Amino acid sequence: MRQKRQKRKILRLREGILICSSIVLLIIIMSLNIGSDKPIASNNKVVAAEQSNKTESTTNIVEDEIIDNDNNTIAEHTDNDESQQQNLTVDVSDENENIHQQEDENVDETTVEQEEIDESEQTQPTNSSIATGLEVGNEINKEQIEHEKKVAYLTIDDGPYGSSKDILDILEEYNAKATFFMVEPKMREYPELVREMVRKGHGVGLHSVTHDKHQFYSSRQSLLNELSVSNETLKEITGETTPLIRTPYGSAPYMTDEYKAAVTNNGYIMWDWNVDSKDWKYRDERYVHDTIAQIEKLSEQDHAPVILLHDKTTTVNHLRELLEYLTENHYELLKLDASLQPVQF
C-alpha cells in the first residue's frame, strides 16, 4: 500500500518537472524569435535542440536521481515494512501466545471454578439434611442441657462398717461421690474409714449416738446432746466438724417444730430423702429396681434424687447395678453440702 503511494508521488513529480521544462523552453524560443533573424533562428533551433537535449538530459538525470531516491526510499520503506512486518509477526506471535496462555488460564480457572462448584454441590446440604442436622443438634443440645441438670445424691446411713471399704472402692470406680450419715459409736470403731471418706472427697454427716427413737427424740436437749457428741467425735478423728444431720428414721413424725427450730438455731442442716431404696427391706437386686422406678418418676418432675441407702453387705452386692444405671443415664453423683436446699419431709 505504501509502495503504491510512493509511485504515485513520483509520477506526479515527473509530470511537474516536464511541464516546468516545457514552459522554460517555450519562453526561450519565443524570446529568440523576437530579437533575431532567421539564421539566428536557425542557430536558435540548434541551440534550442541542444538546450532541449541538455534539458532532457537534465530531466533524465533528475528522473534517474528521483528514481534512485525513490528506489532507496522504497527499499527503506520495504526494509522498514519488512522489519515492521517481522515485528508485527513477533507481536502477533506474542499476542497469539498471550491469547493461548490467557485461554489456557481461563480454561484452568473455568476448570477450577467448575471443580469448586462440583465440590460445593457435593458438600452443599440439602433441605432434608439441614432439617435432620437441626433435629440432631436440638437433640444434642437438649441432651447436654439435661446432662447439666441431672444430678443425684447418694446418702448412706448407719455406718461405718466393714462394708464401707467396699462402698468406697465401688464409688471410686464410677467417679461418684456420696454422703455418709454416721452414728458416733461406729465412727470410733472404724476411724480409718471415716478419714478415708473425708480424704476421698465424700460428704460426712451426723446420725445420732444411740439410733434409738425413744432416746433421741425424748426431749429437745437429748437430740442436741447426741448431735453435739457425734460432732466432737468426728472432729477428733478428722479434725473437722459438719453441719449436716439426718435424724434416726427420718424427721417425720418425730421432729416437732420445736425440735426443728432447735437444730436450726444450733447451726445444723437437716436432710431427709426423696428416694427410699428399701435396701433395709429388699436384700437383693429388687432394691435397685425399686430405686430406679422412683428416680424415673422424680425425673419427670425435674427433681434431683436424694437416695437413701444403708451401709451393709447386701447393699454393696448390687450397688454397681444402681451406679451403672445412673451413669448411663448421665447423672452426676455429688455429695451434699451446706449450700444446697435440703430435702425434708
Written as one letter, the residue type at 105 is E
Q: Are 252 and 258 in contact (CB under 8 A)?
A: no
Pairing of strands 306-310, 275-276: parallel
Q: Are 257 and 212 in contact (CB under 8 A)?
A: no
Catalytic residue among 70, 157, 279, 311: 157
The Cβ of residue 251 has, within 10 Å, a number of other Cβ atoms equal to: 19
Q: Quick check: bond before 253 cis, omega within 30?
A: yes
E strand segments, the chain: 151-159, 178-182, 203-206, 244-245, 269-270, 275-276, 306-310, 332-333
**In the chain, count of helices (H) and strands (E)?**
12, 8
Rounded (5°) CA angle 165-171-174 = 150
Structure-block grid coordinates of residue 18: 516536464
The Cα 121–Cα 141 span in angstroms is 28
157 classed as catalytic: yes
Catalytic residue among 279, 310, 311, 318: 310
Active site residues per annotation: 157, 310
